[in-house]
Amino acid sequence: MPSILALIICFGAFAAEEPPPKAPEARSLFDGATLEGWEKTDYYKAQTLNVRVADGAIVLPVGDSLSGVTTTRKDLPTADYELSYEAMRTEGNDFFAAATFPVRDGFLTFVNGGWGGNITGLSCLDGADASENETTTGFTYKDKTWYRFRIRVTADAVRCWIDDKEIVKVDVRNRELSTRIQVRASEPMGFSAWDSAGLVRKIAIRPLTKAEVAANHVGEP
């Protein structure tokens, strides 16, 4: 039977173990009341109408054919971060809160419900948009329903979730990353709607832990 001293030493060693690191706190990018940190997006040959804040959300009205907002922040990370937000389509049948975001020295757009309402994926990988690359996914969106989105970005991979379902998991090493010309004004980060109206709220960003960065890896080492 172990001695009391041995038990004390054993317990002390166990108690001294450090707990696993907590995920860093998320930084809110939208205060829920004003467009501070955001501005109406001036798209090429499109008219954005009356982007505003109402009931804690950014309102993206039906535009001609686009409407959107773009951040005015200059301190965005380009890798090892997670962008999260909630969005709802209130009118129309196309994408209602497509999120453009930085990846390394390029940009991508996570399209939610394009090409008639359900095509979801990343634009553009090697020039191929969300309707014609390996991230192309069908997802049925219900109007006037909030969806939770998360985008995790590392130097070698991008992964995206809708609610708790992983939708995109792609290796972006040695890939050409770009946005479609129609939404290029959303760079470095913004939200856009096409022939639809949407709401966006709870926009936040946080750095990833080392463990999360490692877990985000896709493909061969």
Does any domain span residue 39? Answer: yes
Q: Mind giving me the DSSP string for the chain?
A: ---HHHHHHHHHHHHHSPPPPPPPPPEES--SSS-TTEEE---TT-B----EEETTEEEE---BSEEEEEE--S---SSSEEEEEEEEEEEESS-S-EEEEEETTEEEEEEEEHHHHTEEEEE-BTTB-TTSSTT-EE-PPPTT--EEEEEEE-SSEEEEEETTEEEEEEE-TT--B---GGGGGG-SSEEEEESEEEEEEEEEEEEPPHHHHHHT--S--
- Tell me the CATH number at 38: 2.60.120.560
Name the pLDDT band for 80 (thresholds 50, 70, 90). Answer: very high
Does any domain span residue 18? Answer: no
Does any domain span residue 71? Answer: yes
Residue 127 backbone zone (phi > 0: left; psi -120 to 50: alpha; other: beta): left
AA identity, residue 46: A
Q: How many domains does the chain have?
A: 1
Q: What is the pLDDT of residue 14?
A: 45
Q: pLDDT tens-digit profile of 127-182? A: 999 999 999 999 999 999 999 999 999 999 999 999 999 999 999 999 999 999 99
Does any domain span residue 84? Answer: yes
Q: What is the pLDDT of residue 81?
A: 98
CA distances 146 to 116, 121, 187, Å, are 19, 18, 24
CA distances 70 to 43, 64, 139, 186, 193, Å, are 11, 17, 25, 5, 12
Global pTM value = 0.88
Q: For the beta carbon of residue 65, count every other beta carbon within 10 angstroms.
A: 15
Question: Rg for the chain (alpha carbons), in Å?
Answer: 20
Does any domain span residue 117? Answer: yes
Does any domain span residue 79? Answer: yes
Does any domain span residue 6? Answer: no
Average pLDDT over all residues of the chain: 90
Average pLDDT estimate for 182-210:
97
Q: What is the pLDDT of residue 48?
A: 57
Pairing of strands 81-92, 165-171: unpaired
Alpha carbons 16 and 215: distance in angstroms, whole number: 27
Does any domain span residue 3? Answer: no
Write the burial class of residue 104 (CB in 10 Å: 0-12 exposed, 13-18 middle, 19+ buried). middle
Give me 95's structure tokens.
């994408």
What domain range is 136 assigned to?
24-215
Strand pairing partners for 87? 147, 200
